[in-house]
Amino acid sequence: DIVMTQSPSSLAVTAGEKVTMRCKSSQSLLWSVNQNNYLSWYQQKQGQPPKLLIYGASIRESWVPDRFTGSGSGTDFTLTISNVHAEDLAVYYCQHNHGSFLPLTFGAGTKLELK
């Protein structure tokens, strides 16, 4: 199974800060045929289901503000939130969705908290 390792496990922030969280996969998620990275980020707020934030490592869903940026390729990925808002406090999960490597494992999550 592909192991997804997220760091840090928690981040204490103040509104307006820029934060970066990381996700590392044990195998490359870059498919050479189409140069797509099969990596998604989800945001989960307390008591709610996860929401797809970013797919293809860097493509934002339509509802996502542009202060969220996904980057990386292969095995190393980052999610950056510039100018953190209070509404961004949540747990962020990465997941690989490369269908050739089942199961589609999630990272353990990074919890964004108020300082």
Partner 1 sequence: QVQLQQPGAELVRPGASVKLSCKASGYTFTSYWMNWVKQRPEQGLEWIGRIDPYDSETHYNQKFKDKAILTVDKSSSTAYMQLSSLTSEDSAVYYCASYDAAYWGQGTLVTVSA
Shortest distance, position 31 Cβ to partner 1, whole Å: 16
The amino acid at residue 8 is P
Tell which one of 21, 38, 50, 79 touches partner 1 (CB under 8 A).
Answer: 50
Instruction: Answer yes or no whether residue 55 interacts with partner 1 by CB under 8 A.
Output: yes
- Counting contacts by CB under 8 A, is residue 75 touching partner 1? no
The verdict on 49 binding partner 1 (CB under 8 A) reads yes
CB of 73 to partner 1, least distance (A): 20
Half-sphere exposure of 74 (CA within 13 A, CB side): 1
Go through 55-69 and write b for each residue having 16 or more CB atoms within 10 A of its CB, e for each that does not.
bebbebeeebeeebe
Residue among 13, 27, 71, 106 that touches partner 1 (CB under 8 A): 106
8 Å CB contact between 115 and 16: no
